[in-house]
A and B are shown apart, each in its own frame.
Chain A
């Protein structure tokens, strides 16, 4: 086969060969050494599967038709295939399959590449195997069409329902525990064949007979399902999208600022924990899924990343690129987020769901990785992009179309596709459900002219002078940045539009941010003015700032507020000093300051009566004394520190005291002593009553036995005693390490404990077995 296939490839013109490579680009990765290698690769499972993945529903149906019409030696013909499909569009589909070399050979001897059978369902078009391959009885039935028809008509309604379901495909059914009567009837009447204990298969002939109304391939859908949706004014959609885009940028900034204020800890397993995500979501006022999306996008865009705390714990926080990004205008900022979203191999909607081990999936963890995510986004945006502007399709319509276009690829991706639609709405790629004009451009430029391709090193990332097509389009919809504010008497400062970056920075410092969105509202408070003063602004700077930026007269209240706070600002000064000199004699201090011998001390006059130096007390004292001044050292409370030379001495040992006095015995103490003695006596008597082995085991060991042997022996005795309900002497070590023995009647042994009754005290005792040293039956 391979040889003939290779020969066939060899016979092709360069143009035809080139066309094959264009249709199946995976064949040239890496470039094959020769045509034989190419032939092998083209027939390999992987390559064939990839070619099939790209085929639409109808083309796959035609491929199934080709597989079904094969005669025993494996060939079919164009006519046979077209006859089975019975649709005019089938010819084009067949041509396509041949161009892809999934079907080869001349018109009258078509071959389906063997790899196709390997990677597609064993039941082409949802039909079972021919009866001859399954079972002799069934083969006989199918060989007699009249009888087959009669048997079918005789099927009871429930059995008929089973048949219809299997006829629609797949032709294999699983037997469930109950209600198998209809299936049993069908198997008994040879309409179904039992292929295992739990499964039945419908023979191809039966399936074809049941499909006589719809045709052998079942319902053929040569045309993609229509997407109608609702139509909106493209301008309204653009506007809503742009509003959302602004919101997405603003939220991302707020999120990263929240991260800046308090970075999120990276979990050991990777990702950011639920608690951190919840905190961030709350901080920016969105639901957790939105926060997860923004976090993933910011990470993908390189605006946030991992760093290590000094203690070595990994943290997640904004990157240096974030600062550059913040300085840009809205449109390029949004574009950076959107392109990162398009290209990121992560599906943020998985965050918060549970993985196969039922553990929550964390944002930024490996579980969110999905290699197919970019392709899913591309596919969805492609569908949206093909619609006329302003069309907002229902999600189901989009999914249906995607399923038709590439059924093999769309399978199991419904949730991913839904997530793309939701993400696109959150990020403002779509507005009111319709793709926006700039979103269209974004989808179109991605991959061929996107920023990543033209600027792989990201050197242009900071410059917003060169707007891309997308950013230009979006910029036209966004409000122009404003450089002025409206200051009001209630001390609010309103920026009636997106502030210029410099204006935003200024306001961030001198006022508290109150409300964000299309405009920003700030409020000037005492704290914010103080903050600005701390940052180096003077009252005049602040007045000038408000005068320069405000379109309206600065209210008097604000002027007074600034002046009031500035007047008090710096009224207290705080600094560090190594030591100070104080004296009531101001003249003396002036003299010290002027003394050249003391210049090395760096003295500074804090008040007429106080000097300070950065050096420590010792050095100051020495320098002053050397210069002939008589300083006195004082401690923190102002008391003079008297310095005296220290002499070495050894530590004192207590002398032995001669005890002559008898101890004083009070009545309670005497009673206590007596009780103590009695208790000791009782214990000793009890111990004496115990057999010698038990007593001996308590600390001394029984002659001839090791401790382990003695313990084993004791357990044997105890078990016997439990059975006989006999009295037994038990020697044991109590919780304080003291040895004791007790005459008890064992009740049970188990879980490492002996439970036994002391008949004298009528109490139930529990002994840990490992503490028991000996046991002897009471004689």
Chain B
């Protein structure tokens, strides 16, 4: 027994005891091939998945090294069967390679003839493969490069894509360092991405993903297409690029519902790309409008399914995915792997926080006891209406008010999901409301005021969930949400996690109604945060009110 920090479980999870003296070394050793699943305070859980092992193979790690790391750090004997399985799984990657053949163009080469024969007979690959060049090589239709990779991954024989990339139309982009530099992990992320060619960088909200994108553009020195979730996020990208790079206003185009500009750097929203007229996607030409050298996907975990289909056709271009989490609620992680690329960089939130880049957040759940009338109304409400009743209970108002009072002088966001409730909150707090119906212009005006500090409190609806940037929000108060979505919780926490100029403590409050379904949903959402290492404190509303 080595007494190491790692415990290998039969279900292929790895438990890492973080207080162990070797924990850091162990984390470094297993991070390349195991995916961090949960990181609560004492024991972090990693998982060995075929995707993770193949990611490691893609990055040049071999099975021997993986087995060695497991044995070296494992506290207890590791089952023989698990080691065999790891070796066999890793061995499957790279048996097939996608190459550029000097005369035949794109080809699939098998380093193992039996595997090549097996996959070439598969019905799933029908129509993607052309004639045989020789025993070990089959011609691939260039348009099928992405779909072939997807299909091979499903068959369990992921192909190594060595067919290279087109350089794209060259365009000069430099980072404008004036009083700032890339943080070390950002540089590492860019290096990891560039060495791999294509892939995904996983960084928490507020850790400067936009800068990673900008640095990747500077590295590529080519025209770039940036895909973002919505217009506001697009403007944010534009602002950031103008500030941090040599790009000028004229070089950056916006391709959204409002404007259709195509410039050397074009920022397009998922929404406009997936908009259909008469059943057909009308804006697909954007992908071919220029000879893009780099395509950046912001918030990969939200990438809509149709974009995957377009991405399958873009396999010859460099692709960079940016996200806070690889977990997709639709389970299409495999498509991200095969179409955008393997994970190239990942850092646990807590680590970045301890490096001081992210404001440490203090998470508090405030439990409100409903009045008897409210309880009665809740008890007799329809099943579908119950959450709404509980979440919008009027008893929450004084608590929110008290919290706002307590943090007087701080930049406060009040986040909710129900418009009526937002209006009463707006009235009670005398604060403006940003919601779906608010015009983009009005929205930006409010955000600017909030950013400048002229506006201290802002009430926002679900529209604030994604990619808006409010650097000085130090307090977030969540009053209602979309049931128990973990992703939403991550995004909202992201609102306050962004770096504070003065390093102040950030606060994240959730106000819930006691003994209702609201508490249950809150518990589900918080589980995600607890898994990320943020423990919740629970306080009673009375403690806030007095």
* Those of B26-48 within 8 Å (CB) of chain A: 38, 40-43, 45
Q: Would B530 and A489 count as touching, CB distance under 8 A?
A: yes
Task: Report the Cα distance A688→B13, complex, angstroms.
Answer: 92
- B423 on interface, CB distance cutoff 8 Å: no
Among B78, B79, B527, which residue has its beta carbon within 8 angstroms of that of A490?
B527
* Those of A553-568 within 8 Å (CB) of chain B: 555-557, 560-561, 564, 568
- B77 on interface, CB distance cutoff 8 Å: yes
* Those of A470-489 within 8 Å (CB) of chain B: 477-479, 486, 488-489
- A90 on interface, CB distance cutoff 8 Å: no
* Chain B residue total in the interface (Cβ 8 A): 39
Q: Would A244 and B536 count as touching, CB distance under 8 A?
A: no
- A121 on interface, CB distance cutoff 8 Å: no
- A128 on interface, CB distance cutoff 8 Å: no
Q: Would A494 and B15 count as touching, CB distance under 8 A?
A: yes
Give the residue name and chain of the B residue nearest to A516 (CB).
Answer: B10
Q: Do A243 and B78 form a contact, CB below 8 Å, given A516-B11, A521-B15?
A: yes
* Those of A529-585 within 8 Å (CB) of chain B: 552, 555-557, 560-561, 564, 568
Q: Would A491 and B79 count as touching, CB distance under 8 A?
A: no
Q: Would B42 and A488 count as touching, CB distance under 8 A?
A: yes
Task: Report the Cα distance A327→B381, complex, angstroms.
Answer: 50
Mask, B238-281, CB within 8 Å of A = 1, is: 00000000000000000000000000000000000000000000
Q: Would A240 and B80 count as touching, CB distance under 8 A?
A: yes
Mask, A403-446, CB within 8 Å of B = 1, is: 00000000000000000000001101001100000000000000
- A602 on interface, CB distance cutoff 8 Å: no
Q: List A contacts of B41 (CB < 8 A).
A: 488-489, 552
Q: List B contacts of A491 (CB < 8 A).
A: 527, 530
Q: Would B43 and A494 count as touching, CB distance under 8 A?
A: yes
Task: Report the Cα distance A524→B81, complex, angstroms.
Answer: 30
- A23 on interface, CB distance cutoff 8 Å: no
Task: Report the Cα distance A519→B530, complex, angstroms.
Answer: 21
The DSSP consensus for interface residues of chain B is mixed
**Nearest Cβ in chain B — how far from A364, in angstroms?**
23
- B467 on interface, CB distance cutoff 8 Å: no
- B163 on interface, CB distance cutoff 8 Å: no
Q: Would B515 and A564 count as touching, CB distance under 8 A?
A: yes
Q: Do A247 and B10 form a contact, CB below 8 Å, given A489-B40, A490-B40, A560-B538?
A: yes
Q: Would B515 and A518 count as touching, CB distance under 8 A?
A: no
Task: Report the Cα distance A722→B163, complex, angstroms.
Answer: 80
**Nearest Cβ in chain B — how far from A549, in angstroms?**
14
* Those of B1-55 within 8 Å (CB) of chain A: 1, 7-11, 13, 15, 17, 38, 40-43, 45
- A492 on interface, CB distance cutoff 8 Å: yes
- B526 on interface, CB distance cutoff 8 Å: yes
* Those of B125-170 within 8 Å (CB) of chain A: none
Among A244, A488, A490, A517, which residue has its beta carbon within 8 angstroms of that of B9?
A517
Mask, A47-78, CB within 8 Å of B = 1, is: 00000000000000000000000000000000
**Which of B68-76, B424-432, B438-446, B475-483 contacts its partner?**
B68-76
Q: Would B42 and A490 count as touching, CB distance under 8 A?
A: no
Q: Would B80 and A479 count as touching, CB distance under 8 A?
A: no
- B537 on interface, CB distance cutoff 8 Å: yes
Q: Would A497 and B76 count as touching, CB distance under 8 A?
A: yes
Q: Would B526 and A518 count as touching, CB distance under 8 A?
A: no
Q: Would B83 and A240 count as touching, CB distance under 8 A?
A: yes
Task: Report the Cα distance A560→B538, complex, angstroms.
Answer: 8
Q: Do A519 and B9 form a contact, CB below 8 Å, given A236-B71, A494-B15, A494-B43?
A: yes
Mask, B372-399, CB within 8 Å of A = 1, is: 0000000000000000000000000000
**Nearest Cβ in chain A — how far from B9, in angstroms?**
3
Among B81, B519, B531, B535, which residue has its beta carbon within 8 angstroms of that of A247?
B81
- A496 on interface, CB distance cutoff 8 Å: yes
Task: Report the Cα distance A683→B515, complex, angstroms.
Answer: 83
Task: Pick from A243, A285, A486, A516 the residue with the most CB of B within 10 Å.
Answer: A243
- A756 on interface, CB distance cutoff 8 Å: no
Q: Would A477 and B77 count as touching, CB distance under 8 A?
A: yes
* Chain A residue total in the interface (Cβ 8 A): 43
Task: Pick from A247, A490, A491 the residue with the most CB of B within 10 Å.
Answer: A490
Q: Would A518 and B80 count as touching, CB distance under 8 A?
A: no
Q: Would B530 and A490 count as touching, CB distance under 8 A?
A: yes
- A709 on interface, CB distance cutoff 8 Å: no
Task: Report the Cα distance A240→B78, complex, angstroms.
Answer: 6
* Those of A488-530 within 8 Å (CB) of chain B: 488-492, 494, 496-497, 515-519, 521, 526
Among A285, A557, A564, A568, which residue has its beta carbon within 8 angstroms of that of B11?
A285
Q: List A contacts of B38 (CB < 8 A).
A: 490, 492
Q: Would A240 and B9 count as touching, CB distance under 8 A?
A: no
- A250 on interface, CB distance cutoff 8 Å: yes
Q: Would A239 and B9 count as touching, CB distance under 8 A?
A: no
Give the residue name and chain of the B residue nearest to A236 (CB).
Answer: B71
Q: Would B538 and A488 count as touching, CB distance under 8 A?
A: no
Mask, A227-266, CB within 8 Å of B = 1, is: 0000000001001111110110010000000000000000
Among A244, A490, A516, A526, which residue has its beta carbon within 8 angstroms of that of B80?
A244
Task: Report the Cα distance A521→B42, complex, angstroms.
Answer: 13
Give the residue name and chain of the B residue nearest to A428 (CB).
Answer: B80
Q: List B contacts of A486 (CB < 8 A).
A: 17, 42-43
Task: Report the Cα distance A518→B7, complex, angstroms.
Answer: 6
Task: Report the Cα distance A561→B522, complex, angstroms.
Answer: 12
Q: List A contacts of B17 (CB < 8 A).
A: 486, 496
Give the residue name and chain of the B residue nearest to A244 (CB).
Answer: B80
Task: Report the Cα distance A516→B9, complex, angstroms.
Answer: 6
* Those of A202-245 within 8 Å (CB) of chain B: 236, 239-244
**Nearest Cβ in chain B — how far from A259, in angstroms?**
19
Task: Report the Cα distance A241→B38, complex, angstroms.
Answer: 30
Among A242, A517, A564, which residue has its beta carbon within 8 angstroms of that of B8?
A517
Give the residue name and chain of the B residue nearest to A286 (CB).
Answer: B81
**Nearest Cβ in chain B — how far from A237, in angstroms?**
9
Give the residue name and chain of the A residue nearest to B531 (CB).
Answer: A490
Q: List B contacts of A516 (CB < 8 A).
A: 9-11
Q: List B contacts of A239 (CB < 8 A).
A: 71, 77-78
Q: Would A488 and B530 count as touching, CB distance under 8 A?
A: yes
* Those of B513-546 within 8 Å (CB) of chain A: 515, 519-520, 523, 526-527, 530-531, 534-538
Q: Would B10 and A250 count as touching, CB distance under 8 A?
A: yes
Task: Report the Cα distance A755→B523, complex, angstroms.
Answer: 79
Task: Report the Cα distance A568→B527, complex, angstroms.
Answer: 22
Q: Would B79 and A496 count as touching, CB distance under 8 A?
A: no
Q: List A contacts of B526 (CB < 8 A).
A: 557
Task: Pick from B9, B71, B520 the residue with the most CB of A within 10 Å.
Answer: B9
**Nearest Cβ in chain B — how far from A469, in angstroms?**
20
Q: List A contacts of B43 (CB < 8 A).
A: 486, 488, 492, 494, 496
**Nearest Cβ in chain B — how far from A110, in angstroms?**
52
**Nearest Cβ in chain A — how far from B510, in angstroms?**
12
Give the residue name and chain of the B residue nearest to A237 (CB).
Answer: B80
Q: List B contacts of A555 (CB < 8 A).
A: 530, 535
Q: List B contacts of A519 (CB < 8 A).
A: 7, 9, 15, 76
**Nearest Cβ in chain A — how far from B82, in angstroms?**
8
Among B1, B45, B538, which residue has its beta carbon within 8 angstroms of that of A521?
B45
Task: Report the Cα distance A285→B9, complex, angstroms.
Answer: 13
B residues adjacent to A (C-beta < 8 A): 1, 7-11, 13, 15, 17, 38, 40-43, 45, 71, 74-83, 515, 519-520, 523, 526-527, 530-531, 534-538
7 other contacts beyond A477-B77, A526-B520, A557-B523, with CB at 8 A cut-off?
Answer: A243-B82, A428-B80, A486-B43, A488-B530, A489-B535, A490-B40, A564-B515
Q: Which 6 A-B pairs have the closest CB atoms?
A: A243-B77, A517-B9, A490-B530, A518-B76, A517-B10, A488-B40
Residue pairs across A and B with Cβ atoms less than 8 A apart, 29 shown, are A239-B77, A239-B78, A240-B79, A241-B80, A242-B77, A243-B79, A243-B82, A244-B81, A246-B79, A250-B10, A285-B10, A479-B1, A486-B17, A488-B40, A489-B534, A489-B536, A490-B38, A490-B530, A492-B38, A494-B15, A496-B15, A516-B10, A517-B8, A518-B8, A518-B9, A552-B41, A552-B42, A555-B535, A556-B536
